[in-house]
């Protein structure tokens, strides 16, 4: 399974980066191949200063080794080793009318002291972070997610949509990071076989471009003002806060001596933190915050 999934994400990275370069039309992805001293490595691809994307990354990795003590405590195991692979992407468009998007699909194996698989699971999802609320875009994104989920189980969309809303929640701000999408973790043998979970996770990943590209194509060339750009940078600050304070993937990478440049590629290049910033009442900015304070069902 680990070989099958790693081969899959290698091909998926090629598919996604090729499509995004076509959308941008100016910049191309810079590729870095790297190795991890403890075992494994990855392929990082970053795009910057494009016509559409101010910064973005589409990274794959496959790492293995001894589980650090902090993670042994987290998984309630001792003297374990692990293997983890996945694809993670974040795209920050220049235009504040265009939303940031994040996605991740991963596979994890945990081994006992004899090297036998003690546990294995899939995780991942995708989520949308707009700076201005366009209901049409939110509905399209969530409908794309629901269409995939419904092919695998009638309860998956409602279940994983709620988990996304719960997970991407900035508790110290009491607001969502964005308008959500899907989030799933610890997909293990039981409700489905690992082969069936593989089919589900890869189906979600295969339709990422269908969920996002139509949105970015509609918004990438809309006019915007310096004030809208400033609002985008303020909201990006909340994105940074979530990634550095709450995000499990970021914390896992930092605690397992992950490649710092790949881990932090998710951070936007231009960000602001203004003291106690409050948007004007009944403004488009305030409309966004109202939805982020109380997530809604879009489909």
**Given this model, what pLDDT does residue 38 score?**
87
Query: Using an 8 Å Cβ cutoff, are 129 and 102 in contact?
Result: yes
Question: Residue 24: its pLDDT value, please?
Answer: 98
Report domain extents, the chain.
Answer: 2-293
Residue 196 CB contacts under 8 Å (≥ 6 apart), including other chains:
152
CA angle 191, 194, 199 (to 5 degrees): 95
Give me the catalytic one of 74, 92, 102, 153. 102
Which pLDDT belongs to residue 74?
Answer: 64
At 113 the pLDDT is 80
Single pTM value for the model: 0.94
Cα 97 to chain centroid distance, Å, stands at 20
From residue 294, give the alpha-carbon distance in Å to each of 74, 154, 175, 283: 30, 24, 8, 17
**What letter does residue 280 receive in the DSSP assignment?**
P
The matching CATH number, chosen from 3.30.450.70, 3.30.2230.10, 3.40.1500.10, 3.40.640.10, for 2-293 is: 3.40.1500.10
- Quick check: helix, strand or coil at residue 285? helix
pLDDT for 101? 98
Question: What angle is formed at CA 207 by the lines to CA 288 and CA 41, rounded to 5 degrees?
Answer: 95
Based on the residue annotation, tell me whether 172 is a catalytic residue of this protein.
no
| 71 CA to centre of own chain | 21
pLDDT averaged per 10 residues in sequence order, the chain, 299 residues: 97 98 98 92 96 97 83 68 94 98 96 88 98 98 98 98 97 96 96 96 98 98 98 96 90 80 89 95 96 95
| pLDDT of amino acid 236 | 97
| pLDDT at residue 175 in the model | 96
């Amino acid at each position: 399974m680990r070989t099958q999934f790693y081969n899959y994400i290698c091909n998926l990275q090629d598919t996604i980066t090729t499509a995004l370069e076509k959308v941008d039309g100016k910049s191309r992805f810079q590729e870095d191949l790297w190795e991890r001293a403890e075992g494994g490595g990855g392929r990082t691809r970053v795009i910057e200063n494009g016509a559409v994307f101010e910064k973005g990354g589409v990274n794959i990795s496959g790492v293995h080794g001894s589980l650090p003590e902090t993670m042994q405590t987290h998984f309630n195991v001792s003297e374990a080793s692990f293997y983890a692979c996945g694809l993670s992407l974040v795209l920050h468009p220049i235009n504040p009318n265009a939303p940031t998007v994040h996605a991740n699909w991963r596979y994890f194996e945990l081994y006992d002291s004899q090297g036998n698989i003690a546990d294995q699971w899939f995780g991942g999802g995708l989520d949308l972070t707009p700076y201005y609320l366009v209901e049409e875009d939110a509905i399209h994104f969530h409908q794309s997610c629901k269409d995939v989920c419904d092919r695998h189980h009638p309860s998956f969309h409602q279940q994983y949509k709620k988990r996304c809303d719960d997970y991407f929640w900035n508790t110290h701000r009491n607001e969502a990071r964005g308008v959500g999408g899907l989030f799933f973790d610890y997909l293990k043998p039981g409700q489905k076989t690992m082969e069936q979970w593989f089919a589900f996770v890869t189906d979600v990943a295969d339709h990422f471009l269908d969920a996002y590209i139509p949105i970015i194509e509609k918004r990438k060339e809309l006019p915007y003002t310096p004030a809208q750009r400033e609002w985008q940078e303020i909201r990006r600050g909340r994105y940074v806060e979530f990634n550095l304070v709450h995000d499990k993937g970021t914390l896992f990478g930092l605690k397992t001596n992950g490649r710092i440049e790949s881990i932090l590629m998710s951070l936007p290049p231009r960000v602001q933190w203004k003291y106690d910033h409050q948007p004007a009442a009944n403004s488009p900015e305030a409309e966004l915050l109202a939805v982020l304070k109380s997530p809604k069902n879009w489909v």
